[in-house]
Amino acid sequence: MSVGISYGEKAVRTVLVYLVVLVLLRWGGRRELAQLNTFDLVVMLLLANVVQNAIIGPDNSVAGAAFAAAVLLAVNALVVRAASLSSRLGRLLEGSPVILARDGQWLPSEVKRSGLNRADLDVAVKRQGGDDVSETTSVSLEPSGSLLVSLREGDQAADKNDVAALQAEIAALRQQLTHPGPGSGSGAGPR
Kindly state the average pLDDT of the residues 91-104.
88
pTM, whole model, 2 decimals? Answer: 0.60
**pLDDT of 191 over the 50 cut:** no
* HSE-up (13 A, CA, CB side) for residue 59: 21
Tell me the three state secondary structure of residue 160.
Answer: helix
165-184 tens-digit pLDDT: 889 999 999 988 888 766 65
pLDDT score of 108: 93
- pLDDT score for 183: 60
pLDDT band at 90 (very low <50, low <70, confident <90, very high): confident
Residue 1 confidence (pLDDT) = 45
Per the CB < 8 A criterion, the answer to whether 59 and 10 are in contact is: yes
3-class SS letters over 111-180: HHHHCCCHHHHHHHHHHCCCCCHHHEEEEEECCCCCEEEEECHHHCCCCHHHHHHHHHHHHHHHHHHHCC
Give the percent of the chain with pLDDT over 90.
Answer: 26
Q: Where are the domains of the chain?
A: 7-94, 96-178
Helix (H, G, I), strand (E, B) or coil at 136: strand
**Considering only 24-33, 69-78, 87-96, 111-120, which range has the smallest mean pLDDT?**
24-33
Sign of CA dihedral 23, 59, 6, 67: positive
Q: What is the pLDDT of residues 133-151, one digit of tens each?
A: 999 999 998 887 788 899 8
Q: Which of 76, 62, 71, 80 is nearest to 9 (CA)?
A: 71
Task: Determine the pLDDT at residue 73.
Answer: 92
Q: Reduce the secondary structure of 53-107 to three states and give it as a string.
A: HHHHCCCCCHHHHHHHHHHHHHHHHHHHHHHHHCHHHHHHHHCCCEEEEECCEEC
The strand pairing partners of 19, in sequence order, are none
Residue 28: pLDDT band by 50, 70, 90 thresholds? low
How many degrees, rounded to 5, is the angle at CA 29 between CA 78 and CA 10?
45
pLDDT value at 83 more than 70: yes
Who wins on pLDDT, 75 or 45? 75
- For residue 21, the 8-state DSSP code is H
Does 129 score more than 80 pLDDT? yes
> For the domain bounded by 96-178, which CATH number is listed?
3.30.240.20
